[in-house]
Every structure is written in structure tokens, then in C-alpha cells.
Amino acid sequence: MFRQFDPVMSVREFLTNLGLSTGTVSWVSTLLLMLAVAIIAWLSMIFTRAIIVRVFSAIVKRTRSPYDDKFLATKMFRNFALIVPGVVVWQMASLMLSENPGWLSFVQKSSALYIVVFVTLTLSSFIEGWHQVWLSHPISRGRSIKPYVQVAKVLIVFTGILAAVSVLFKMSLVNVVTGLGVATAVLALIFKDTILGLVASVQLSGNNMVRLGDWITIPGRNVDGTVIDMTLYTVKVENFDKTILTVPTYALVSESFQNWRGMEDAGVRRIKREIRIDVRSISFLTPELVKEIGRLPLTAGWIEENRDAVEAVERGEAASLTNLHAFRAYMVEYLRNHRNIDTRMPIMVRDMPSTEAGLPVEIYCFSKIHSWVPFEGVQSDVIDYTYAVVGRFGLRPYQSPAGSDLEILKPHR
């Protein structure tokens, strides 16, 4: 019965019965039918928002599964429901505007574009919903798939644009895609950052080069902090001074950067510091120095190991032992007995090449504490003790003359 009803003929017959002329009937009927399509579109929009969207939301909120709440938060159900008005208008236009090809084409193109837009938004919301579901699982910690999510969204939007072009120019989607070959260079320029970001994201994740929460350093870009976000285009780093820096994703592939994850995974952090010794204070051991060194803790093992040489020194005989040798051996033993130094890792106290600023003695070991602030405390304790004990061995730290030193050289009046 519905198929036998022709709204166009019914409206025209009604207007003709009112005594209107043929020309007036034509444009008035078109106006009334367009108004009817607009009213139907408005009613279908109200129905969708007031009924369908609310029903979907109520059903989702009552379910026990947390996953559908993620999709609700991304407005996937809302976008999906809003496709309905476009479909209704498209169908009603073909029924009511069949005698007006121009208006029919305009309304159907508009409704088709509307459908394409909300289908694109629905698919994009669906991808984002799955991303939120992924983030809710423990496996997502430190593993960012955000670049791949953004690539999927870009492809969906790009496909939507192609579909919109196909609708506007009444071309098949295949012909539209074929025509893109002519504009390859332009598209490569437009999507340059997207392509570079995609390639870089694949390399970074595939080679496990960087993850969320990693501490990275890029000296040339003043980056020294923790990775807090990774996208297709940028990597966001929070520096230790709480400033936020963004670096292009492809910069982590094209440039070198330092990732401190290995240190954190090992549970230790390296101490590599040096003090400079005044070379004029380096000397052979004397009986007085041997006696002073013997009063220090942790020296019994070194004295026993060098018993013959130490006894020779005590007798006043020549020996090859130096105060610097004794100091290095003592510091190694001190580090081995330090509660915050990991003895499973290398421990060294060694001489470095001499310079005009004294002889550098390097302390090399690993702290059990790798968190920044506590680690600095451990490192400072070791260095403070080193400077405090070096004088017990007859050694002097090297220091450039200061103003107070020059004051001593002034003649007294």
C-alpha cells in the first residue's frame, strides 16, 4: 500500500484543487516536499538522540563488562546511531523528490556525505575504543601502540575523503584511487611527516629501542628525562626539571640517543668520578706512614698481603710501596665493604693519565640504588670520604690557587 502512494502527485493534486496555476503548483510542490524532507531529517535526528543513543547508553552502563564503557566514552555508539538520520533522508528524498532531479541529486549527495562522515567517525571511535581497552590491560605498561592507532585513524579518514570525492563527482572509488597516481608526489609531500613517523614507530617498537617510562638523553636537543607519551608524530619527554619537550619520532631513529633502561633493569647505577692528586705528594712509604695507615679500618688485609715489603719499610729499608698504592688498595676495600655498593659489579680505583692539573685517580663502581636523588647521596658520600681520608696517606688533593692562597704571598707591612 505504501508503494502505491505517490507523495509528489498527491501534493500536486492538492495544490491544483486549490486553483493554483501549473507554474505555481510546480515550485510550491517542490518547496513543500523539500520542507517535508527537512522536517523528517529533524525528527529522525531527535529520535536518534533521544531514543537510540539513550537506550544504547543505558544498556552499556548496566552491563558488567568494562570494555563497552570504553567504547561509550569514545562516542562510538552515538556516532553509529547518527548514521540513521542520513539513511532516512536519503530514502525519503528518492521518494519525495523523484520529479525534481536537481533537488534529488543535491539532497542525496548531502545525505551521502553525512553518512560518510559519521561512518568515518564511528570507525575512528571504534579504533580508539580498542586502544582504551588495550591500555586497561597490564601488558600495555611500557608498550605504546598509539602510533599504530593513529596510522589506522589516518587510513580511515583518508578512505573517508576518497569516498566523499567519489560521492561529489559521481565516480567509482576505484577510479578515484587510480587518479591518485597522478598526485603521488603531492601526496608524498603532504603525508611526509606521517610516513616518516610510521617508519620510525615501526623501527622503535620492533627493535624495542624506547618504551613509555624509559629515561632517555638526547644531548643535541637538551632532552634528559622520562618518556611520557609516544605518538605517530612526536615523542613527549618530561625532563627532570619538569619541563616538557616534544621530539619528532623520526629523530630517535635518525639521531643517536641514550636509553638508561639497561641501568634500571640491572638495578644498579654506575659511579665514575675522579679526584686529582698533587704529584709532589706522591712518595714511598715511610715507617710513620705505615703506622698511620695501620690505624685505619680495612687495612689489615692489604698489610698482610704486602707483609714483607711493609716489614722492610718498618726496618728503614728501601721498598717499592708508595702511599698512592696504599690509598688505592684501601679505597677498593672500602668500596667492597660499603653497604650501598654492589660487589657483583666491577670495582676499581685506578690512576689515569697525568695532566697539568695533577694526577687523576678514578673511582669506578656501581651503586645498588639507582633512583636519582638517593643515588646522588650515595655518590656524594663516597667522594666526601675519599677527600677526607686521602690526607691520612700523606697525599694532597690538587687545587688551583685561590684568592686566599695569593693573599699569603703578599708582603706584610
What's the pLDDT score for residue 231? 81
> In angstroms, rounded to a whole number, what is the distance separating the alpha carbons of residues 163 and 116?
7
Of 19-28, 88-97, 118-127, 174-183, which one has max mean pLDDT?
118-127
| Across 69-97, average pLDDT | 78
What's the pLDDT score for residue 181? 64
Burial class (CB in 10 A: 0-12, 13-18, 19+), 392: middle
192-206 helix and 146-169 helix, angle to the nearest 10 degrees = 150
pLDDT at residue 303 tops 90: no
Nearest-CA neighbor of 190 among 147, 154, 153? 154
What's the pLDDT score for residue 45? 76
What's the pLDDT score for residue 13? 66
pLDDT at residue 362 tops 90: yes
Q: Which residue has the cell 523528490?
A: 97
Residue ranges matching CATH 2.30.30.60 in the chain = 213-259
> In angstroms, rounded to a whole number, what is the distance separating the alpha carbons of residues 380 and 333?
18
Mean per-residue pLDDT of the chain: 82
| Across 159-166, average pLDDT | 85
pLDDT at residue 406 tops 70: no
Burial class (CB in 10 A: 0-12, 13-18, 19+), 251: middle
The answer to which of 47-56, 207-216, 238-247, 320-329 has the lowest mean pLDDT is: 47-56
pLDDT band (50, 70, 90) for residue 353: very high
Query: What single-letter amino acid sits at 333?
Result: E
Return the SS3 of 237. strand
What's the pLDDT score for residue 92? 75
pLDDT band (50, 70, 90) for residue 150: confident
pTM here is: 0.54
> In angstroms, rounded to a whole number, what is the distance separating the alpha carbons of residues 77 and 69?
10
CATH assignment of 213-259, given 1.20.58.1610, 3.40.50.300, 2.60.40.1120, 2.30.30.60? 2.30.30.60
3-class SS string, 79-96: HHHCHHHHHHHHHHHHHH
What's the pLDDT score for residue 182? 59
| Helix, strand, coil share (%) of the chain residues, nearest 5 | 60, 15, 25
Summarize pLDDT for 31-73 with one digit per residue, the tens: 777 777 778 778 877 777 777 677 777 777 777 777 777 777 8
Residue with the larger pLDDT of the pair 3 and 196: 196
| Across 358-366, average pLDDT | 95
| Across 353-367, average pLDDT | 93
Q: Tell me how far the alpha carbon of residue 275 is from its chain's centroid.
A: 38
Return the SS3 of 397. strand
Whether the Cβ atoms of residue 387 and residue 275 lie closer than 8 Å to each other: yes
What's the pLDDT score for residue 2? 45
What's the pLDDT score for residue 7? 65
Q: How many Cα neighbours within 13 Å face the side chain of 61?
A: 7
For 50, 57, 107, 264, 294, the CA distances from 81, given in Å and listed in that order, are 11, 11, 20, 48, 87
pLDDT at residue 316 tops 90: no
> In angstroms, rounded to a whole number, what is the distance separating the alpha carbons of residues 220 and 114?
48
What's the pLDDT score for residue 1? 41
| Across 266-294, average pLDDT | 91
Summarize pLDDT for 185-205 with one digit per residue, the tens: 666 666 777 777 777 877 777
pLDDT band (50, 70, 90) for residue 20: low
| Across 293-308, average pLDDT | 88
| Across 356-373, average pLDDT | 92
Q: What is the largest CA-CA distance in the chain?
A: 141
Return the SS3 of 247. strand
What grid cell was written down for 36?
A: 517535508
pLDDT at residue 30 tops 80: no
